[in-house]
Amino acid sequence: MKILVCISNVPDTTTKISFSPDNKELNTAGVQFVINPYDEYALTRAIELKENQGGTVTVLNVGLPDTEANIRKALAIGADDAIRVNAKPTDAFFVAQQIAYYAKEGAYDLILMGKESVDYNGFQVHGMVAELLGWPAIVPAIKLDVSGTTATLEREIEGGKEIVPVNLPLVASAQQPMSEPRIPNMRGIMTARTKPLKVVEPISVEVKTKTEAYSLPEKKSGVKLIDPANAGELITLLRNEAKVI
């Protein structure tokens, strides 16, 4: 089984977000970039499947050379090889087109990625890739097993889950608790250095969305503290002042 795992490079979750003076770009000074946490669930599950049933795991990232540290981390965790599409990921459609193009070229059986990235929260690259390839997309998946050419997934729905059997090939997006992400060990880190990382150029895609500016939410006016002895007063305030109950 050939598995393609798509990873994106995102600011560490504890990052305090700020922007350039013209509000056009994220201020990356002092920001640590990590593998998107949801993509780590996808990556770990792919490696588990490979360990149990054989096959290969390729990671793909659309990014400039500065993402290679995280690509190497994915190789250290256990992926076999990697592709970096040498481009700044401008929008989801651009990224999806790159993935679909290189996925076709590699004839993969399964494409896995996180349900969304924690930076742009689009929840859309998997759906776009699936549509471009004409494959089913099971989104968001909390469990994934493969037996022969059939996958069985659990898809999260509002207030429950669905059991979905589906033939390969398919696209699935990962959400907790699909797997328990791993920390690379020393052997993994050493072997990652020698694993192939292919750099390819992007295909040309027409831009359909343009980010004009970023802004931060208005600051909260501060917490109103209520004496625990009169806790019931909170309910009155929520009803009469905040008008939410």
Partner 1 sequence: MSVLVFIECADGKVKKSSFEAAFYGQQVAASLGTHAVAVAVGEVATEELKSLGGYGISRVLVDEEPRLKDYVSQAYTKVVAAATEKENATVIVLSNTNIGAGIGARLAARLQASYAANVVALPEVSGNSLKVKKSVFSGKAFAEETLTAAIKIIAVKKNSLEVKEPVSGEAAIESFSTALTDSDLTGAPQETIRATGDVLLTEADIVVSGGRGLRGPENWHLIEDLAKALGAATACSKPVADVGWRPHHEHVGQTGITISPNLYIAVGISGAIQHLAGVNSSKVIVVINKDPEAPFFKAADYGIVGDVFEVVPKLIEEAKALAK
Give 82 or 138: the residue with its C-beta nearer to partner 1.
138
C-alpha–C-alpha distance, residues 11 and 22, integer Å: 20
Q: How far is the CB of 211 from partner 1 (least distance, A)?
A: 5
Whichever of 35 and 82 has its CB closer to partner 1, that residue is: 35
| Comparison of 183 and 186: residue with beta carbon closer to partner 1 | 183
Q: Are strands 170-174 and 197-200 parallel, antiparallel or unpaired?
A: unpaired
Residue 177: cis peptide before it, omega within 30 degrees of 0: yes
Toward partner 1, which CB reaches closer, 38 or 192?
A: 38
Residue 217 to residue 21: CA distance in whole angstroms: 16
Which residue in the block uniquely carries the two structure tokens 């998946």? Answer: 141
Phi/psi zone of residue 233: left (φ > 0), alpha (ψ -120 to 50 degrees), beta? alpha
Cβ within 8 Å of residue 20, ≥6 positions away: 26, 27
> Could you give the CA distance from residue 235 to residue 12 in angstroms, rounded to a whole number?
37
Q: Are 43 and 27 in contact (CB under 8 A)?
A: no
Q: Closest separation between CB of residue 10 and partner 1, Å?
A: 9
CB-wise, 32 or 194, nearer to partner 1? 32
Give the shortest CB-166-to-partner 1 separation in angstroms: 4
State the nearest-atom distance from the C-beta of 70 to partner 1, in Å.
17
CA–CA distance, 57 with 61 (Å, rounded to integer): 13
Q: Measured from the CB of residue 195, what is the shortest distance to partner 1 in angstroms?
A: 27
CB closer to partner 1 out of 29 and 245? 245
Cα separation, 141 vs 114, whole angstroms? 9
Nearer to partner 1, 23 or 53 (CB): 23
DSSP 39-82: HHHHHHHHHHHHHHH--EEEEEEE--GGGHHHHHHHHHHT-SEE
- Give the shortest CB-202-to-partner 1 separation in angstroms: 17
Smallest separation (angstroms) from partner 1 to the CB of 72? 23
